[in-house]
Amino acid sequence: MFSSKKNKRRKAARIDTLIGENTHFKGDIHFSGGLRIDGVITGNITADEGEPALLTLSEKGRIEGEVRVPFQIINGDVKGNLYAVEHIELANKARINGNVFYKLLEMAVGSEVNGKLIHVGEAEETDLSLEHSQTDPNLNLEQQT
């Protein structure tokens, strides 16, 4: 009865790709399975749709870009929005400068979010998909005179 979600998480729990501490990667990353980041990523990180995926950002890691992964464990610095259709864990050294869109959120004492925490229910999960557009007129950055 509950095995399908547990199996998805177990499959994604292994690390398929490691970006080391002394690595700085510029560009977008698309992946499935497990991705652990100890280095610096400048670009967006996206999990392949329909595939189980887990992103682990260590306390040494840093991301400058948007993250769209179903399962996330964040313990480093992120400059950009986080989107998680399943579960996001912000560990005690997580520093987020951006909004966090989540279905299920765990936040440890010491973690920091400089932005909004936005819960997304079952009906709104399409907002977390890979496709996105600017529809909020308040997001217009042009100065009005």
Q: Is 96 inside any structural domain?
A: yes
**Higher-scoring residue by pLDDT: 3, 14:** 14
pLDDT of residue 121: 81
Q: Is 92 inside any structural domain?
A: yes
Question: Domain containing 101: what range?
Answer: 7-124
Q: Is 119 helix (H, G, I), strand (E, B) or coil?
A: strand
Say whether pLDDT at 7 is over 50: no
Tell me how many domains the chain contains.
Answer: 1
Say whether pLDDT at 145 is over 80: no
| Over residues 107-115, mean pLDDT | 97
Q: Is 2 inside any structural domain?
A: no
pLDDT of residue 80: 98
Say whether pLDDT at 91 is over 70: yes
> Is this prediction's pTM over 0.85?
no
| Over residues 53-68, mean pLDDT | 97
Q: Is 145 inside any structural domain?
A: no
Q: Is 75 inside any structural domain?
A: yes
Q: Is 133 inside any structural domain?
A: no
